[in-house]
Homo-oligomer: A and B are copies of this chain.
Amino acid sequence: MGGDYAPEAVVLGTIEAAKSVSPSTVIVLYGDKEAVEKIFDANGGKPGCVEIVHTSEAIAMNEHPTQAFSQKSDSSITVGFKDLKKGAIDGFASAGSTGAMMVGCMLVSKTIPGVIRPSIGSGLMSVKGTKVMLLDVGLNVDCKPDVLYQYGIMGSIYAKVICGIDTPRVALLNIGEEPEKGNMTTRETHQLMAGSRDFNFVGNVESKHIFSGEIADVIVCDGFVGNALLKQAEGMYSLFADKLPGNDPVMCGLNYENEGGTPVLGINHCVVIGHGCSTPLAITNMILATEKNIALGLVSKFKEAFV
């Protein structure tokens, strides 16, 4: 039931995803069973790998996340997190209320011991065709240096496990390349990172290089800055969207639909949060990203690193 175009976009995205998932994968949809089945029926029927768990409620985008999560105990998000916690599913993804998803992450899945603050990252496609992981992009908007340092570890694990990069280059987003540049937080963070044995720190990176892919595979920043950068990139994408062909490599990289969702890093389960305005294509890619995160054991790598 999640996202501006649910349940239709979710069902259509699921139909496409069902064609690509591994034979052992089961896609479980949480929502209004009758409404969901109708959409499957109108679009060639429900694929064999899809199951539906009926839930009678849905959390709206404008509801108070904590209240809605606890009061609507039969909402698709609440039931999904319950199933995740008890192991009925291996991962959970939704384009629904980001606030309610985060409540589930923090109250039900919970932070991995040793992690100060979880993070959400965004895997951006560089013009080189490589993925650049920008984190945090909005979960933690007042980051202290020790938190940013841990984001370096998290981003490095993600790039290694999910993007298959042996020794990911981790950079600190800053407004100058020299170590002494930046604000109080980045100057202190740079000093912490410069001595890191936990990841391959390559120094500061300026935001003009985010999409170049030249300097870093992982870019660490405060969630306020990361969110502002991500939204500016989205805004600029929309300015160019009708000027350039959709298959232009730069446009493809900027199109959030190709990424599908952002993983929540540093919690005990695999959770992916999609864009509120997710299209069927975005949903398909969100499902496939979730399957990949599960298959490659992303969460267990995090647990090992923070023991």
Q: Which residues of A contact B (CB under 8 A)?
A: 127, 138, 141-142, 173, 175, 182-184, 186, 206-212, 221-225, 227-229, 231-236, 238-240, 243-244, 248, 250
User: With A182-B224, A207-B228, A207-B235 given, can you name 16 additional A-B contacts, CB distance below 8 Å?
Assistant: A141-B182, A175-B224, A175-B227, A186-B224, A207-B231, A208-B231, A208-B235, A208-B238, A210-B232, A210-B235, A211-B235, A212-B235, A221-B228, A224-B225, A236-B236, A243-B248
Partner of A225, one of B138, B209, B225, B248: B225
Chain B contacts for A211, CB-based, 8 A: 235-236, 239
Bound: A224/B212 CA distance, A: 21
Bound: A212/B184 CA distance, A: 32
Bound: A183/B223 CA distance, A: 9
Count identical subunits in the complex. Answer: 2
Tell me which of A209, A223, A243 has the highest count of chain B C-beta atoms within 10 A of its own C-beta: A243
9 pairs of residues in contact across A and B, judged by CB atoms under 8 Å: A141-B182, A142-B183, A173-B228, A175-B223, A206-B231, A208-B231, A208-B235, A240-B240, A243-B250
Bound: A97/B128 CA distance, A: 32
What residue of chain B has the Cβ atom nearest to residue A234's Cβ? B208
Q: How far is the CB of A62 from chain B (nearest CB, A)?
A: 10
What residue of chain B has the Cβ atom nearest to residue A235's Cβ? B208
Bound: A208/B232 CA distance, A: 4
Bound: A209/B231 CA distance, A: 9
* A183 and B224 in contact, given A141-B175, A250-B240 (Cβ under 8 angstroms): yes
Chain B contacts for A229, CB-based, 8 A: 207, 228-229, 232
Is the pair A228, B225 in contact by a Cβ cutoff of 8 Å?
yes
Bound: A224/B186 CA distance, A: 10
Bound: A173/B232 CA distance, A: 11
Chain B contacts for A138, CB-based, 8 A: 175
Chain B contacts for A250, CB-based, 8 A: 239-240, 243
Chain B contacts for A238, CB-based, 8 A: 208
Q: How far is the CB of A233 from chain B (nearest CB, A)?
A: 7
Chain B contacts for A227, CB-based, 8 A: 175
Is the pair B142, A184 in contact by a Cβ cutoff of 8 Å?
yes
Is the pair A228, B184 in contact by a Cβ cutoff of 8 Å?
no
Is the pair A183, B141 in contact by a Cβ cutoff of 8 Å?
yes
What residue of chain B has the Cβ atom nearest to residue A239's Cβ? B250
What residue of chain B has the Cβ atom nearest to residue A229's Cβ? B232
Q: How far is the CB of A57 from chain B (nearest CB, A)?
A: 24
Bound: A135/B223 CA distance, A: 20
Chain B contacts for A231, CB-based, 8 A: 175, 206-208
Chain B contacts for A208, CB-based, 8 A: 231-232, 234-235, 238
